Structure 1
């Protein structure tokens, strides 16, 4: 004689109980869910990469000479390259020594230099820095494309 359970109208509980009693069925269900969800994740990751805004040069300078350096630096970069990356120009001014100016790309310092308080020589220094930064960013992008990331993700290296 078979005993029947009272029906509560909740079929999801019955399906879950059935899956938990049969481990092979549970594994197959999990695999099916993973296979169905995989194609949905790729467009989301691509959309996240495309949504990043690029072409910013952030000015975190403080003094007049730092702002002049930023102005000439960004002018040179915008004139000579397609800005598909973001940079940050930072400065630590000193009344005694001038200003320490550095440029960061993806959290890494690519350029660092002390600038004397003499404003007349800022333009050639900023232009030289822009050219060096452009080469360094191109080199880093090329290295990241050629990097073997089979075992580890790129941010783990």
Structure 2
């Protein structure tokens, strides 16, 4: 019985020590797909096919679909929204929307880098999320 207690204690200590070192792995330049519908997946594929920026962080493309109105596409970095658009199911102006999204995200990332460089002081803290 004492042997089983030691094994359980060893397993518990191992679990606690491994848990304290686990951290979220961030892959640089990753664009994640959190879309649901066909139009959302098509937007993600076209966006990533034309994406040429070497961004060190992760970009997320989210979708809020509506059967009646289409899909609301949101492009984020961390908690910051870089671009939002509404896509119709019939793909009206789809290529134009892709080009606008690419330009807007490039511009937003540049503004973000400038703000980070200029506002990086000890007085301001990072997000607590």
TM-score (norm 1): 0.60
Q: 1:98 aligns with which of 57, 61, 70?
A: 70
Which aligned runs of 4 or more in structure 1 are off by greater than 3 angstroms? none
Map 1:42-61; keep pairs closer than 5 Å.
52-61=26-35
Structure 1: how far apart are the matches of 2:120 and 2:45?
38
8 Å contact kept, 1:70–1:126: no
Partner of 2:119: 147
Partner of 2:105: 133
In structure 1, runs of 5+ residues without a counterpart are 1-47
Q: 2:93 aligns with which of 99, 121, 128?
A: 121
Q: 1:109 aligns with which of 57, 60, 81?
A: 81
Structure 1: how far apart are the matches of 2:97 and 2:37?
16
Partner of 1:17: none
Structural RMSD (CA): 2.0
Q: 2:51 aligns with which of 69, 77, 82?
A: 77
TM-score (norm 2): 0.72
Question: Counting helix residues as a fraction of each chain, which structure ranks higher?
Answer: 1
Structure 2: how far apart are the matches of 1:150 and 1:84?
23
Aligned residue pairs: how many? 105
Structure 2: how far apart are the matches of 1:64 and 1:150?
45
Partner of 2:9: none
